[in-house]
Amino acid sequence: MKSRLTALAFAVNTLVLGGLCLPAAAAAVEAPAKYNLREHYTKYEYRIPMRDGVRLFTAVYVPKDAGKRYPFLMERTPYSAGVDIDDELHYGVDFYPDHVGPSPEFEQSGYIFVQQDVRGRYMSEGKWQEMTPHVNPKRAKGEGNESEDMYDTVEWLLKNVPNNNGKVGILGISYPGFYTSASIIDSHPAIKAASPQAPVTNLYMNDDSYHGGAFMLSANFDFYSAFVDVPNPTPLPKSWTRFDYGTADAYEFFLSHLTLSNITNAMTANQRTLLMPTIEHATYDDFWKARDIAPHLKNIKAAVLTVGGWYDAEDLQGPLTTYGTIKRNNPGIYSGLVMGPWSHGGWSRYDGKSLGHVQFDSKTGDYFRSKIEFPFFEQHLKGVPNKDVSEVYAFETGSNVWRTYAAWPPKQAQARTLYLGPNGTLDWKQPAAGAAQAFDEYVADPRKPVPYTAYPATGVPKEYMVGDQRFASTRPDVLTYRSEVLEEDVTLSGPVKPRLFVSTTGTDADWVVKLIDVYPASYPNSGQSDEHHTDVPKPALTMAGYQQLVRGDPLRGKFRNGFENPQPFTPGKVEPVNYTMSDVNHTFRRGHRIMVQIQSSWFPLVDLNPQTFVEIPKAKPDDFQKATQRIYRAPSMYSGIEVQLLPAPR
């Protein structure tokens, strides 16, 4: 259901399983060859008691140089605080990881590194909960509260681990990012710095589980086939096993099963245990509301640096929501934001120079780790001066430069609308008044859905977020609109908001909108793939005419008036469909074009809409019907895309 990265580059190294990150062996951020962790740190293992008597397994790595005091730097994870050796997890003080800090600078500077299995996972006692509700009046025996568990852990560490300086930092990526956010609510005063990175925040609202009310099928299926409930305390499973699709093409696999019930029946009962609640709660009901951590991000005393990636296929919205909420609810503390050109967790594992075929011209991951992340913790945990601090560090893709802002979105950005025009045109001006019923239409067939990649894949390839969309432009069930060649740079900074007038011959429909950067017909970049991203096609690709996805998201039409009470369409009736996609910070360069594509499927990234008004988890094969979809651009029914435009020149 989620695409939560395992233990950052923190202790358990990672392998990406189709966009979902699970423990594996290969390290990505290499420490200098001469530095030996075992030589400089002593490992201890503890079972720290919580206020309800549950004990949480905690591994602590303490510098052997006892001549000075060190701060704690902690990660709390559901993915195991054990050590991965040859794809198997090991517990015990004799097992050391290759690296224990988020980057080599931390290990050499000296920290007391702490890794903890959250309650109910691996070697920790208690009962694990999906996205632990912060408020739970019916808390069962063994269930906990992450803020309380963190508070009790900090109290114990301060009293029982010698040579600490009384200061604590916490960080984590993806699901550990959620635990970072949840752990600093009503925070212990010793917690001085926190960095939730790609934090899962609200699973239903454009994080891992649903986007625009549409279920993120491929990512969730792939994740939950490996992330399963296990008895505890236990070091099992010692390794992670991928689901056997029986084909290299998830499009083929899912389409052959068609319905969600058939798809989930392909899993084992244990694999379905954690996935089914996600599927069955298809509206924004109390199940999801209780798991939204954002409203509870209050009484935070630490400085907070929230981190995310513009091309994070899993938790792009989480960092933006977390940053804004913490800033709004906790005046007086530093609430910073870093957004770079990264896939999920890419800032911790790769040099960040490219993603797929798209180049960023510099090692953005290295820059983040050495120039932003390390100085942040050094300042707040050790008192090291950090003069060049900004609130927002935002990499501007397209122009490939880092920008700093006083807030996000930038206050100087102005709302403008790109209007869909006749003959596939796209312009800042409303189309001239023409026929009273001006529209474009296509036939959407759920049995022949539009794919989201041009090549076969299982899971979710990281590069799809910048993937070439030329394959979609040729399909008759995809509407394509493009601007004239740009005479000057156009920079968009902030959310992207489709504003459509639509009709359908069905009673439900998905509306997928994609914002695309079209490269010139003559372009010098060879488009060689990033060596780290092995899920991209191997042959070099000319970037001339490349149609780079900048942002795309669906809206399930039944939720056009709210996510709690779905409403059918009346066949043939024209209705507004307005929604908000995640933010961008992208410059369309002079000589490029801006493109918008609209379609009604994006498969199997998103599950199929039968296009009949039914409960989709219970849909039967006969419910899947063709429908004719129309996008209107007549007077009083202009369709377009609202964006936040930075004024030029800058």
Q: Model confidence over 110-137: pLDDT tens digits? A: 999 999 999 999 999 999 999 999 999 9
Q: Per CATH, is 14-202+291-405 categorized as 3.50.50.60?
A: no
| pLDDT for res 352 | 97
| pLDDT for res 238 | 78
Per-residue exposure over 508-542, b if at least 16 CB sit within 10 Å of its own CB, e if not? bbbbbbbbbbbbbeeeebebebbebbebbbeeebe
CA atoms within 13 A on the CB side of 73: 30
Q: Model confidence over 469-517: pLDDT tens digits? A: 999 999 999 999 999 999 999 999 999 999 999 999 999 999 999 999 9
Q: Per-domain residue ranges for the chain?
A: 14-202+291-405, 414-645
Distance, in Å, from the CA atom of 24 to the CA atom of 347, rounded to the nearest integer, reads 18
Place domain 414-645 in its CATH homologous superfamily.
Answer: Galactose-binding domain-like (2.60.120.260)
| pLDDT for res 537 | 52
Query: Mean pLDDT highest for which of 97-101, 157-161, 521-525?
Result: 157-161
Distance, in Å, from the CA atom of 15 to the CA atom of 361, rounded to the nearest integer, reads 25
Q: Model confidence over 130-170: pLDDT tens digits? A: 999 999 998 999 999 999 999 999 999 999 999 999 999 99
Helix (H), strand (E) counts: the chain: 14, 30
Q: What is the mean pLDDT of residues 329-333?
A: 96
Q: What is the mean pLDDT of residues 427-437?
A: 80
Q: What is the mean pLDDT of residues 587-613?
A: 98
Residue 409 per-residue DSSP state: S
Q: What is the mean pLDDT of residues 314-342?
A: 97
Q: Model confidence over 255-280: pLDDT tens digits? A: 999 999 999 999 999 999 999 999 99
- Tokens in use for 434? 């023409």
Q: Model confidence over 390-401: pLDDT tens digits? A: 999 999 999 999
| pLDDT for res 1 | 43
Q: What is the mean pLDDT of residues 41-69?
A: 97
Output the CA angle 265-287-18, nearest 5 degrees: 50
| pLDDT for res 7 | 38
Worst-scoring range by mean pLDDT, 235-249, 261-275, 586-600?
A: 235-249
| pLDDT for res 111 | 98
Residue 237 pLDDT > 90:
no
Q: What is the mean pLDDT of residues 369-373?
A: 97
Q: What is the mean pLDDT of residues 72-87?
A: 95
Q: Model confidence over 207-228: pLDDT tens digits? A: 999 999 999 999 999 999 999 9
Residue 239 pLDDT > 80:
no
pTM (two decimals):
0.94
| pLDDT for res 24 | 35
Residue 139 per-residue DSSP state: P
What does the mean pLDDT of the chain come to?
92
Q: Model confidence over 601-640: pLDDT tens digits? A: 999 999 999 999 999 999 999 999 999 999 999 888 999 9
Distance, in Å, from the CA atom of 212 to the CA atom of 504, rounded to the nearest integer, reads 18
